[in-house]
Amino acid sequence: MPIILSFFYAYEDEFHQMFVSGRTSEWLDVMIDTAGAILGVTVINIIFKIINNIKMN
């Protein structure tokens, strides 16, 4: 769910930038933001798994 929300927020931000003077709107920016969300969720999941493994032992 956080990844989907990040994608839609990034999309909305780029859509808004189409109407702002001096700013550009790029699909690549949406993909970069979404990739950052995927990386963040992955890192958090790995950290939680490590912590749970430490607690189990």
CB–CB of 27/14 below 8 Å? yes
How far CA 16 is from CA of 19, 33, 46, 47, in Å, comes to 6, 15, 34, 35
User: For residue 11, which of 27, 43, 49, 2 has the smallest C-alpha distance?
Assistant: 27
pLDDT of residue 32: 97
Give pTM, 2 decimals. 0.82
pLDDT of residue 57: 79
Could you tell me the residue ranges of all domains in the chain?
2-56
| 1-57: pLDDT as tens digits | 999 999 999 999 999 999 999 999 999 999 999 999 999 999 999 999 999 999 997
DSSP state of 7: H
